[in-house]
Amino acid sequence: MTKTYTVGSLYAGVGGICLGFENAGFKLEWANEFDKKACITYKNNFEHTLFEGDVMDLDVKKLQKIDILTAGFPCQPFSLAGHRKGFNDSRGNHFFKILDFIDEMRPKVVFLENVKNLKSHDKGNTMKVIEREIKKRNYTFDSAILNTKDFGNIPHNRERIFMIAFDKDFVKRGFKFHFPEKEQLTQKVTDLIIKEQVEKKFYYTEDKYMYPVLKEAIVREDRIYQFRRHYVRENKRKVCPTLTANMGTGGHNVPIITTDFGFRKLTPRECFRFQGFPDSYKLPKISNSNLYKQAGNSVSMPVIQRLASEIFKCIQKIENKKTKSQKV
């Protein structure tokens, strides 16, 4: 009988990390998310306990202990799009809150996700602090920057850094986590685009001032485009450009495509598809701006699932060896 391994998820967003771990065979015990609209989407798709509110207000001692602690912690302090203040930004202190959870719960595995710029932030010092603090707690530490198009079989150019740490009291000496190998991208942009006509509000019609520019530049249905003031940028790599939370702020931040029905922006459902969410994932009746923001803020679920599957194999292998040694 396969043993059940439990997960607690901090900064859960709409559940991209949670769904990836669930699909890999883990049991979600609880999660935490601050954004009220994200909580609505999350609760539409999961039944376990969701603690809504600031993670700083959570009493670690009162939460059920788990085997795996996951955290896609706030990326603004480390992002190229932010002010790059790192640990001097109050939001950077969220990492130290994560350490409180590690100290209290001693999970077998800690799984962290952030923007790729974390690695080079402050000339690498920010990453050194994170690695040092994790190792100081008697954990291994391995990290890698993975691109969705290379590790999730989704045509989406999205690079994120993943940090995975195992409790050294759980693993054998010299243990090192091995990240999965790149896989061939077989899905195309057109595989994820809705073939039927969508709502009129998503289309750029002839009365729009940028229509002539779109008509001249957007000529291929297998490409995704971005409008940049007075010109259009084509993604020649035949993948979706990195989706961002700014898609929810309006304007022309949502990527554009052309279909048999005209020029239009990607719909929220398509954005979730480019993050690897299945169509069975329910999108609630909230504003499209919030759904765009949620899709841009999320992780690429298939990448998480591959990593979670590797973690699951490692845990099983370790525990099977311990069981055999005990019998001997």
* Per-10-residue mean pLDDT, the chain, length 328: 87 98 98 98 98 95 97 72 61 84 97 94 87 96 98 98 97 90 97 97 94 94 91 92 94 94 97 98 98 97 98 93 68
Q: What is the pLDDT of residue 83?
A: 58
Q: What is the pLDDT of residue 184?
A: 96
240 is catalytic: no
- DSSP H or E stretch at residue 263: strand 262-265
Q: Taking a C-beta distance cutoff of 8 angstroms, is the pair 159, 299 a contact?
A: no
| Total-model pTM | 0.93
Render 22-83 in DSSP notation, one character per residue. HHTT-EEEEEEE--HHHHHHHHTT--SEEEES-GGG--GGGSPP-SEEEE----GGG-TTTT
Please give the domain boundaries of the chain with CATH numbers for all domains. 6-183+297-327 (3.40.50.150), 189-286 (3.90.120)
Catalytic annotation, pick one of 18, 39, 75, 240:
75
For 311, what's the count of Cα atoms within 13 Å in the CB-facing half-sphere? Answer: 33
Q: Long-range pairs for 234-238 at CB < 8 Å and ≥24 separation?
A: 235/157, 237/157, 238/155, 238/188, 238/189
Q: What is the pLDDT of residue 88?
A: 67
Q: What is the pLDDT of residue 207?
A: 93
